[in-house]
Amino acid sequence: MEHPSSTRVYVVSDSVGETGESVVRAAAMQFYPAQVEIVRVPFIQETEGIDKVLNTAQSQGGIVVFTLVVPELRQYLIEHAGKLDISYIDLLGPVMASLGNALNQEPRRQPGMIHPLDEDYFKKVEAVEFAVKYDDGRDFSGIQKADIVLVGVSRTSKTPLSMYLAHKSFKVANVPLVPEMQPPDRLYAVPKNKVIGLRIDPDKLNIIRQERLRTLGLAENATYANVERIKQELEFADKIMSKIGCVVFDVSNRAVEETASLILDYIERAR
């Protein structure tokens, strides 16, 4: 039996939809290399929005995943998805029901409570702004202010890791390691347990860089994706990371979330 190589998932929420999207992305990783297209449909407040999503899912295919906390909207989606024979998954409903039974109380059913405007929220916003400002060695002064400093050659997921960790409220600076440019002296001055080295298999990096060149419309045989050049860069990076004495994680076959989890575990132990 031939399996479909791609599908579409509509993530419906009466808030921003981050929770639903994160769960779907985590599940989709288990089916790699199959393609799972995620369409986030946030801030659903009326049944008209649900009708639109269900009509699209019926005509174009796909399943519906939802994190609706308003009972009327949740029930409406369940009933109408059933009538249209559209597969759906209620992510929050069963969990809220079980918690309600355990706590012997009703949930508030108020959308968007995962992002209250409190001290933690503003700390997260500050961390995201920090990651943007000190991304890819734009300003090396961030090295001394950062909670975490990522180092590695180009295309080792430094930027997506910085943003992921920023959403965990960590201030992250990242420094590209290039043979033609020695890293700043201040990189050796920060505590080595704040520095995280990122390593990758040269063949894997070659594939990633070739794909990047294709995306940019450039020739795949450019120096950027040359195997010997890649090995030179990785050798240089290994020397720098050895000199710093920092921990090094191999990102070759890891999703950003998985690498971030390893980094967070390490930072927690280092404290």
Helix spans in 2-117 (H): 18-28, 47-60, 71-83, 93-103
Helix (H, G, I), strand (E, B) or coil at 181: strand
* Among 172, 166, 128, residue whose Cα is nearest residue 152: 172
Helices 256-270 and 158-166, packing angle to 10 deg: 60
Termini Cα distance of the chain: 52
Residue with tokens 């890791």: 161
Cβ partners under 8 Å of residue 114, min gap 6: 15, 18, 19
Q: Which residues pair with 160 in a beta bridge?
A: none
Contact 234/206 with Cβ under 8 angstroms? Answer: no
Q: What is the DSSP letter of 69?
A: -
**Would you state the structure tokens that stand for residue 33, as one six-digit string?**
């290399």
241 vs 63: CA distance, rounded Å:
45
Q: Which long-range contacts (CB under 8 A, 24 or more apart) does 112-115 make?
A: 112/14, 112/15, 112/16, 114/15, 114/18, 114/19, 115/15, 115/16
Residue holding tokens 């990047």?
Answer: 212
Q: Which amino acid is at 135?
A: D
Please give the annotated binding residues, written as ranges: 152-159
Three-state DSSP state, 176 = strand
Q: Which residues are annotated as a binding site for ADP?
A: 152-159
